[in-house]
Structure 1
């Protein structure tokens, strides 16, 4: 029997003997170790496993033919044999298992677990290509407090441990999203400090994203966002449809601060990366039904099937129906409801260990009762100060925020199609990667902005856009891993039509046909000055081309004017311009141990200029310039108390120039975008996770932001520098506790959760109206996975337990036309989810 093994066995657990004829238990050559860390060079995988076993004293079991011909990945700073094995295997089609004795088992993904009856999968926390929101296998009863799992993120365009990334990043994996009952992007603010996701002026169907006080006030095809959402590594430039359900995901990452170097669309505020679960080479799936108050009915399903050894397909979808939260007193119909369908199909092709290609296609459709508005304030002496609107305001105040009385019944009709492919070819220590993406948006949204039965301010917005992008990257390591680098080229093209029909001081049509093209080249290099000190520098150069054809009408008459004051015939004006700008990053990080990181970074971010969609007069028919942000960020990341406590914190200071702001003026009111302001923003965030015992997990986060204008030219409105940034609460707090219940592993895994969120007061618009007070909400949940050893999971959830009424967003034209109207947050909701898992998801 000895000849069947790669190395002589000095000791053999009894369970190993069952497979002795086909498996190898190894202990061999030495491993370089520094302060308890494991470093290993690239070498044949079988040899690497032998060295790891000998150097750590951990038994490692594998079939020789499973690793034959494979080369290990270099290992640096691994804390345990488990981490080192995962690192050296890399993207090879192998899984790592551990049994109760601590033996590590390496096997092909397509093999069954029967080779080791007592083996269990190691938890791959937040690894995008391996983790879905399927329930992980139930672990054996822990003997002590569990250490906090590593989280792998792609904030630097390659996979790295969160604790190794010298940037402020919040990452949530698919399992955590499901346990916290986070069902759409608007709920991410409850777990990610410094992030605000609230309805925009176009309602719930077009979210507005704020990171560190930076936000795009109104989504127009002629203006880029401050915060960009990436889905499957492709920028979603228009926020329409980004509120789709968060289902079957690998992870969500929130990157804070300027992202101008490595990400294709330069942003000044940050980025949100939504990573769908990738196909795997095992059969798995689930089907779930969710029921709740307001007649909530939601059905979610996923099926993953390998098609041979090189191809795997994953299909997922979700259908949601929910009655509106409020009944419109004007016509008896519901508002603020949800009627959506989501579908996604992913195809993974891995013809070799060196090449992978992942294609993702998705579809989103919404036909919902739209967002309702409530009249909150009227400015005395304004055009809104009429007896009819005063009576409507009194009626609203008498009935409270739950009262809706809109003569224009709101609706939201949105369709979004996306298609992307990410392919990567490994060339030794280097990887060539290409990301191609396509997105089509078709949106039609109607809203009653005055919030009354009077025809004072109504609007309907239609948007049809298509976008195409391609990004080519080459990244890798040089000189025995002392240098890591990435270089890339990026191309983006968008074309679409944005039409706003409105009634405000007459019947208006603002019609824009836009074309946006962006080219950029970038490079970033990290150099290890010592084993603990690393210097990183990156540069990106971007050229943006912005074209717009405009048609603006008031009461059927052309509002456009030529430079000589005449009216163009036909009523059309063409505009074209371009902008170019560098972005950069310089950072220094110090890592005295695997569990501790300090860093200091400086970045320059850039957001493209553009055209005023509503420009009429020659003085308004000029482009607004790009805005820029310079920042300094100081942070640390620490895993303490044998990784039972994790604390990540960052302080930052930003200098914000040529700020693009919407300014309302004139009679009838006119809205233009100007480079009106300069500002300074400083603040900080801290996130903490603790596992004080094996049955308790505590999380908490605090964010503070202090944005102040240095100047703000409001044209005829004068100096507006005393105004506050919109949708930027100075303080946000979130805290949660999860308790695992003491039940036998044979009965499954059960737990209860309680969480709290609080934010301070906010302003709703760039030109301030009345501030909205801060608020806090309480949530609770319970789950029982693998009920009684069955493949069924049961979850209960309750949100806004105290039924708190609070304002989320609104439309403020108080200084011009004289009104402030608001949207309010969701009332108390509760429900249950029953889920059936099969295949790998059931283990």
Structure 2
């Protein structure tokens, strides 16, 4: 079935491109803002429903930020974007800034390994990124960034149970233009971004090339190994080509390449309970606000990612057609000393993630009944093949937990919006999805001689092969090695949405809707010690009721968006720590939860002062299953953002632009506050819970820039985390042993920049 759908989609792509008769020259380029008078707010155009619409007309809780605002707010990566949006929480990963974990409205993924899908779908120019590696650099030269909150499975599909991040890059234009930006800051931070747009054939062919380099010294230091930690050295290139082959046919081609190299994050041993924690850890407990690493290894993490995307757009009669074909390749190799000490309690000595994905999507969009009906239908095919080898060392045991997932997904979808009464519209849509999951486990085990069990580096002569872990539990399918391939598993589900919206007099919209979203099930990790551990987990489901209102007031000087929701979350995919040493983690369908909350977004123009702010409130609660009574992890109950921009014109010289913003998130529990055992659920102690808790904190940033009137030059002074907040971006999983480590976030940074445009 999957191969037939794939062939049909690819054939439709080719035929649609050949026959498309009337689109390319007349279609507007995707943009986050339309021109507006100086005394009113710009209209924001989004593609949250797969077509260009004003933000005020879309019955979805969506935040949209233009490319200019991304630069003005110093939003250079997905983490910074998340901090500017209500009800979004981000968590660091063990391997640095090449990866991230996103949660929206209390729905979060259980981990970062490729056996588990993400809860927030990341889309760049309509292409789904199954693995978030390299997505931070997709924010370079963006036209817009949209964050859609709540289940988005009907139009976006692929594991958008929490929401979707929809990024649109700037496309080639038919004029010569470009820019060069250079910045320098503390920690020897250096940034270079170059953009050049070249018209090749006037009105028919244009190219755009973007290059960006970012580097800084370590935010921490390891004196024993005489090396930096939490440093950065990244390069990114994007080359785009737009061809309006005829007045009726447009083709967009894009290639991007990302290469990142950094030492591991700053892990420090922040929690230690005397008398209960292992005594040999005592000398390595971090001092308050310490940025000194005592890790026994300081590995380099290397990421290489490249993407190819081809988009064909046209029309067939009155129907718009779009085909999006993409290939994505990921190669990551790194390691991490996650307890932050020279004792090998939790050393991930090698972590490789290599593989690729292919995607093909076709969309048909149109209108009918005197434009009272908007409709979109389409089909989607996805295939991902990944090899993942996490090799960890805990004392005298070396575990190679290699897995080789092969994930395939096919779907067809449709959504209709019909104005059945003046200003009153009904929207209904559904997607039929089938996922096929395949897995091959090839774990190996090694033993370290007792004399070297406590040393960070054991000689090769002290390491000997141990028995295959599958042999003892009856799963080994390779008598001469170690291999287990379980039967394939299939998941079929139907995410859908239905809702009503009413356009208010003036510039307003009120809406109510119900959405059902799913996240696919899958296979377990490879660290289990029993056959029962390898039982696959099932898909999870969110039912979400949502209502909202969007208002434009005072002659477009004030824009408000208010939404409220109630969600039931069932068959929740939760990580459970079954064994403390060595750590054994399983993914359980751990009962149910209810989540309710609300969000407010506001933008106001007072004279030339533009103010923006947002507030997100979330109340999550487990209602059924082993975690009832414990805290829901990876959720900030309160998030808010406030910011302001003030341009001051200096006659004959230029414009001075002042910007400041403050983002806040409340307390977050990084991991579960109870442990599942064979005899029941056991709550962790207050000390153990504190070690996986980050209290609320806020980050203050500011920028002052000057645009010269007679020169295409802008000079700026900037600062981030100006109050030098000391906070954790992640916690280790050692709290069951009464100690724990954390990853320390970025300190105060500041610098200067110069941008020349031509």
- TM-score, normalising length from structure 2? 0.88
Find out whether 1:747 has 2:653 as its counterpart. yes
Q: Distance in 2 between matches of 1:190 and 1:542?
A: 32
Match in the other structure for 2:177: 284
- Where do residues 158-307 of structure 1 align in structure 2 (5 Å cutoff)? 158-244=51-137, 246-307=139-200
- Kept after mapping to 1: 8 A contact 2:507/2:551: yes
Find out whether 1:387 has 2:279 as its counterpart. yes
Match in the other structure for 1:129: 30
Match in the other structure for 2:470: 560
Find out whether 1:351 has 2:241 as its counterpart. no
Q: Distance in 2 between matches of 1:780 and 1:222?
A: 40
**Shift, 1:554, TM fit:** 3.3
Match in the other structure for 2:727: 806
- Where do residues 551-700 of structure 1 align in structure 2 (5 Å cutoff)? 551-555=442-446, 556-561=466-471, 564=474, 569=479, 570-575=481-486, 576-614=488-526, 615-666=528-579, 668-693=582-607, 695-700=608-613
Q: 2:375 aligns with which of 458, 473, 485?
A: 485
Q: What SS does the aligned partner of 1:197 have?
A: strand
Q: Distance in 2 between matches of 1:256 and 1:362?
A: 27
- Kept after mapping to 2: 8 A contact 1:245/1:318: no
Q: 1:547 aligns with which of 438, 447, 458?
A: 438
1:112-155 C-alpha deviation (Å, 9 max, x unpaired)? xxxxxxxxxxxxxxx863579xxx99x9xx8xx72111111111
Match in the other structure for 1:527: 418
Q: Distance in 1 between matches of 2:520 and 2:212?
A: 36
1:224-244 C-alpha deviation (Å, 9 max, x unpaired)? 110121111101111122222
Q: Distance in 1 between matches of 2:566 and 2:190?
A: 45
- TM-score, normalising length from structure 1? 0.80
- Kept after mapping to 1: 8 A contact 2:562/2:601: yes
Alignment coverage as a number of residue pairs? 695
Find out whether 1:779 has 2:711 as its counterpart. no
Find out whether 1:702 has 2:615 as its counterpart. yes
- Kept after mapping to 2: 8 A contact 1:608/1:627: yes
Query: Once structures 1 and 2 are overlaid, which stretch shifts more, 294-303 or 609-618?
Result: 609-618
1:401-435 C-alpha deviation (Å, 9 max, x unpaired)? 32221111042200000011111112343101111
**Shift, 1:91, TM fit:** 6.1
Q: Distance in 2 between matches of 1:482 and 1:278?
A: 31
Q: Distance in 2 between matches of 1:465 and 1:381?
A: 46
Match in the other structure for 1:323: 217
RMSD: 2.1
1:601-634 C-alpha deviation (Å, 9 max, x unpaired)? 1000011000002244221122100001100011
Find out whether 1:722 has 2:614 as its counterpart. no
Match in the other structure for 2:355: 465
Q: 1:371 aligns with which of 259, 265, 273?
A: 265
Q: Distance in 1 between matches of 2:218 and 2:337?
A: 16
Match in the other structure for 1:403: 292
Query: Which ranges of structure 2 fall in alignment gaps of 5 or more residues?
Result: 1-21, 447-465, 675-688
Q: Distance in 1 between matches of 2:62 and 2:299?
A: 37
Q: Does the C-alpha gap of structure 1 residues 689 and 234 become closer, same or farther in structure 2, counting only changes over 3 Å?
A: same
- Kept after mapping to 1: 8 A contact 2:719/2:751: yes
Q: Distance in 1 between matches of 2:76 and 2:370?
A: 44
Which structure's relative contact order is higher, taking Cα pairs within 8 Å and 6+ residues apart? Answer: 2
Find out whether 1:338 has 2:232 as its counterpart. yes
Largest Rg, 1 or 2: 1
**Shift, 1:330, TM fit:** 2.1
Match in the other structure for 1:762: 668
Query: Once structures 1 and 2 are overlaid, which stretch shifts more, 420-429 or 562-571?
Result: 562-571
- Kept after mapping to 1: 8 A contact 2:110/2:573: no
Match in the other structure for 1:13: none
Match in the other structure for 2:9: none
1:715-769 C-alpha deviation (Å, 9 max, x unpaired)? xxxxx3222222211111110111111323x533321011111111111113463
- Kept after mapping to 1: 8 A contact 2:476/2:482: no
- Kept after mapping to 1: 8 A contact 2:720/2:748: yes
**Shift, 1:712, TM fit:** 3.5
1:567-617 C-alpha deviation (Å, 9 max, x unpaired)? 852310002211101110001001123510000010000110000022442
